Amino acid sequence: MTGSSKDNFTLVFCYSYILTFTIIYSFTLARYLNVHYGSLYANLGYFFFFVCFGFQVRTTFSDPGVIPRGSVESVEEAIEVGLPIEREDDPSNERLLGGDSVNISSEKAIDMVPLRGTKQELSLYRYRHCSTCKIMRPPKSSHCNECNNCVKGFDHHCFFVGNCIGRRNHQYFFYFLLFGTLYCLYVSLFCVVGFMDQVKENPDMKRRLGNQIEYWILATLLIVIPYMTCKRYIFQGVRNTLMCLGLTILMIGLVLACKGGDSPAYASPLTFVFVLIILSPITIWVLGAFLGCLYALSLDLTSKEKAVIEREILDPTKKKSIFTATPAERIANLKNFFLRSSIESHITI
């Protein structure tokens, strides 16, 4: 856990949210599944929760790849103490960004990453001097302003785990999102199944639902259209707001239709609606984060790399070539991500 104290609120909120929801699940949907479908279905939900929660804890308390601070005050001093940095006038070794970034000779580079075509233009793939940590940052590393540390393989700082996501805990974070997504979708699916079961047993409720077709159309449009149109980062807030509005309208319609009925408390249609209301915000966040993470990893990129590419490469053709990969390449990139070995958090010169 490397985050600052301002992470504490979101960290407590996230842990409390998932624990509270699981308690609600235990007294509602889990009981319904145990009675109507068998204990296996109820326990499968618990399995997704415990694996998700375990990886969340591991992500929070693992070292993301923090690079220890040094004493290199400048690029010039790094050269003086013998770090393998070349400053010849050769264009392939030119200094970048006003002296804060330099290229490294491929024969002398330490821990260098392979560069593919246009990526050679990016500052993120150069050794850069960090005036705060007083080190020469290796390629694909970045300084996190929240943690005030340089992190190797920096992806982003996640407030919901109170830690940076870097080279050493990126896999844990991905598994946290994966099983969190499975947990949310599993519970949501069986809430819908349970709700439909109760509707079939109550003809009056089925009639009331049919009379509210305007709710279903509006809610569906507000949920689907944002995903079809709001693809860029700048529209994420608009997308999530519209989706939550669509879900709210959907829930209002369901509540109006579910009044009355003689079902047990744990099997009441209102119970299923209540669970969906509690679960839907976190489902949107987890699912969106998981799909974004999966997309980036399939291109062998981190969130930081994507941001740098968007900012520093202005040629849309070059940018498109980086964000394009064949299915075979995507599978290979994901395979390499899952099979890669751990690294040391320090750099050996």
In a domain, 122, yes or no: yes
**What confidence score (pLDDT) does residue 171 get?**
93
Residue 260 lies in a domain: no
In a domain, 227, yes or no: no
Question: What is the structure's pLDDT at 263?
Answer: 65
Domain span at residue 135? 66-152
How many angstroms from the chain centroid is the CA of residue 3?
17
pLDDT score recorded for residue 346: 40
Q: How far apart are CA 262 and CA 164, in angstroms?
A: 50
Q: What amino acid occupies position 292?
A: G
Residue 96 has what DSSP assignment? B
Q: What is the pLDDT of residue 1?
A: 64
Pairwise CA distance, residues 318 & 325, whole Å: 13
Tens of pLDDT, residue by residue, the chain (349 residues): 666 677 788 888 888 888 988 998 998 889 989 988 889 999 999 999 999 999 999 999 999 988 888 777 666 666 665 555 543 333 343 333 333 444 443 333 334 444 445 565 677 887 888 888 888 888 888 999 888 889 998 999 988 888 999 989 999 999 999 999 999 999 999 988 888 887 777 777 767 666 667 667 777 777 777 766 665 544 566 766 777 777 777 767 676 666 655 667 677 777 787 788 788 888 888 888 899 999 999 998 998 888 888 888 888 888 888 888 899 999 999 999 988 765 544 433 3
Q: What angle do the packed helices 170-200 and 203-210 form, to 10 degrees?
A: 110
Rounded distance between C-alpha atoms, residue 92 and residue 249, angstroms: 58
DSSP class of residue 233?
G
- Name the domain count of the chain: 1
Is residue 349 one of the residues assigned to a domain?
no
Q: What is the pLDDT of residue 245?
A: 73
Give residue 198's pLDDT. 79
Is residue 140 situated within a structural domain?
A: yes
Question: What tokens does 156 get?
Answer: 């982003």
What pLDDT sits at residue 211?
66
DSSP annotation of 157 reads E
Q: Match 């879900």 to its residue by tokens.
A: 247
Q: Is residue 107 part of a domain?
A: yes
* 284 inside domain: no
Identify whether 148 is part of a domain.
yes
Measured CA to CA, the distance from residue 119 to residue 123 in angstroms comes to 9
